[in-house]
Chains A and B, each alone.
Chain A
Amino acid sequence: MKERRLRIVLHIVLTAGFIGVLFLALWWANTHLGQFPLRVMRTGAVYIVAAVAYNLVNGITGQFSLGPNGFMALGGYTVALLMLPLPQKQFVWFLQPLMWPFNSFSFPWYLFGVALVLGGLVGALGAVLVGIPSFRLRGDYLAIATFGFGEIIFVLANNLIPLTNGPLGMKGIPEYASVYWCFGWAVVATLVVSNLAKSSYGRAMKAIRDDEIAAESMGVNVFRTKMLAFATSGFFGAVAGGLLVTLITTISPTLFTFNMTFNLLIIIVLGGLGSITGSVITAFGFAVLSELLRAVEAPINIGPIHLPGVAGMRMVVFSVLLILLMIFYRRGLFGQFELSWDWVLSRPGVIRSWVQAKPGATRGVRKWKRETKSS
């Protein structure tokens, strides 16, 4: 018992230390790197928040949601409405006036965190509203309901001009989402979701994923557990949306189309459905790679062969990648493996055993495969 408590304290200290080092590195990056790499890093951090939230539903609870774009839109619009300065609001809504109460106030910069949390709560509320009809049924109704929800949000964003300014959207949102805010939320989302996944609620979620009927007969409250996962996911999805609009400083309905969901789906599948570690790493990698993959759309010259650039080729590549992953590499990069301090701390011993037992050197690799293997 005492040893266990000691280990928990050790893990907390290590996590705190890791976060400290991360933020020192961010401070260095913030003062030394140029605008463009910083922007890519911030986008990566926003993707981490969204992907970790999405994986909680699709990977850990095993429910197929297509809704993150809807939740991100809810958060994005809430934060934009709260943070847009009053003069800018008058400037943006020139066709029809902005509706009360948003036309009478605007949050100062120090309430940015409050705005994000409020946006997150709106997202969680949306998740509960979609969850109630879909979780009463077994099966894939969540996919349909969440897709429908995303479309309803899109239609509302286009038509509720006094609230959203329609297809024109809003511009001139202050760029509050600094490196610290983005990575701060990435850390919070990752810690909350991974601890939730390790808790008894998380074990209930995984039980539902593996066999819903068995879980129910063991006394798991299926409806409540799914709802907890979905609402948490809605919260962080909406926060990611809020960060995104204060990062790119504009918002319009087309920002949150189904393409957003598709990108997130690629991320969590490639990282491994059910692996938060995988989601974090691939989300960040995706933000970087999708900048690099713009090369696919540029004209390419291979010796005498000239391939003209085709806009949209990236999405073709991504969709083929998704299908191939599902057919040949279903476990993704990390399967259901989670990076933990226990795992990190046991490495020196494991490596020593590899070195000592030379003939069985492949054993470690096999063990890694076993650890990361998905069901």
Chain B
Amino acid sequence: MSLETFLQQLTNGVSLGSLYALIAIGYTMVYGILRLINFAHSDIFMVGAYFAFFMVAVFHLPWALSAVLAVALTALVGMAMDRVAYRPVRNAPRISALITAVGVSFFLENLGLVTVGARPKAFERPELMARVITIGPAAISGVSIWVPALSVGLLLLLLYIVYRTKIGMAMRAVSTDIETTRLMGVDVDTVISYTFAIGSALAAAGGIMWACKYPQINPLMGIYPGWKAFTAAVVGGIGNITGAMIGGFLIGLIEIMAVAVFPALSGYRDGIIFAMLLVFLLLRPTGLLGETLKEKV
């Protein structure tokens, strides 16, 4: 592989990885607090992309405004999902919550299929993203620069919220011990609601940027990115936000590089990541940064 193809693949991998990192945050935050695999998170990602699509294509709003509105709307959808579907099963056995999550995921996918149709729609990306930039020998599309840059910005913003604000402190408290936090007078349900809003907003941002990178959207577009992002969260240590970010970049790079180095494997691209997940569970189940969870009886 020549140096320029390597550089191109590297930027490609980093930009894909930054998107996985954005989605993985939502999984890991919800898991950290509720011990729930939110299967519907991948569909929230899809919903975000569709909101942006409709804002731009149907309402002809300026691009930046539509992106912001789409992110805000998706955050509301995430909160509504928690309120309607997850809060009623919060004290039910774990398996009930998981089944509910599968149900919500299927509902969003099939609602999408019924309302907007299965035919992929062309996503109009802004000129900024479509432009090709040449740096030395490598020709890099604007997407490969802007996506990681914006993602890293959002990730830093998230770290600020989680570690420097009051609501972030409440989130960390809830994820450590939900009952004690409740006794301290924190409104746990509100904190959980905010967690879903933040996770969904990041997923929406990821969805919109994904649609800029691969400008075709369909109601099932979230499934694979979602599961790979979940893999990233597990690899990084589920429940750990920094871990999810590292895992996201790692998965993105591995996915791109494996196919770049062994082109014969391109058909197995999705299988590689899931096989890696199984191997990782076998060798280091707590992930890179995860700590062993102690269970209280």
Contacts and interface: CB of A to CB of B under 8 A. Distances in A.
B102 to A, nearest CB: 6
B92 A326 contact: yes
A151 B277 CA distance: 12
B159 interface: no
A166 B19 CA distance: 30
A319 B100 CA distance: 9
Interface stretch (B54-62, B150-158, B197-205, B278-286): B278-286
A249 to B, nearest CB: 27
Given A144-B230, A149-B278, A138 B114 contact: no
B103 A155 contact: no
Interface in B274-297: 274-275, 277-279, 281-282, 285, 293, 295, 297
Counting contact residues on chain A (CB < 8 A from B), the size range is 35 or more
A262 interface: yes
Nearest to B275: A152
B37 A315 contact: no
B103 A323 contact: yes
Contacts of A139: 35, 293
Nearest to A310: B114
Given A133-B282, A322-B99, 10 more contacts: A141-B285, A144-B234, A145-B278, A155-B268, A214-B297, A319-B104, A319-B107, A322-B102, A323-B107, A330-B96
A148 interface: yes
B99 A265 contact: yes
A140 interface: yes
A156 interface: yes
12 contacts: A58-B95, A64-B99, A130-B278, A133-B278, A136-B282, A144-B37, A151-B270, A159-B268, A213-B295, A312-B110, A313-B114, A323-B104
A137 B285 contact: yes
Interface in B22-54: 35, 37
A82 interface: no
Contact of A143 (B37, B107, B268): B37
A118 B88 CA distance: 44
A150 B94 CA distance: 22
A140 B37 contact: yes
Nearest to A313: B114
Interface in B241-297: 267-268, 270-271, 274-275, 277-279, 281-282, 285, 293, 295, 297
Nearest to B230: A144
A310 B117 CA distance: 10
B227 interface: yes
Interface in A243-292: 262, 265, 269, 273
Interface string A26-69: 00000000000000000000000000000000100010101000
B85 interface: yes
B278 A148 contact: yes
A326 B114 contact: no
Contact of A151 (B99, B110, B274, B297): B274
A320 interface: yes
A147 B277 CA distance: 11
Interface string B170-181: 000000000000
B106 A156 contact: no
Contacts of A148: 227, 231, 274-275, 277-278
Contact of B295 (A138, A149, A316, A322): A138
B274 A62 contact: no
Contacts of B100: 322-323, 326-327
A64 B275 contact: no
Nearest to A151: B274
Contacts of A62: 93, 95
Contacts of A143: 37, 98
Nearest to A214: B297
A318 interface: yes
B64 interface: no
Interface in A184-231: 213-214
A158 interface: yes
Contact of B297 (A141, A213, A310, A311): A213
Contact of A136 (B89, B104, B106, B285): B285
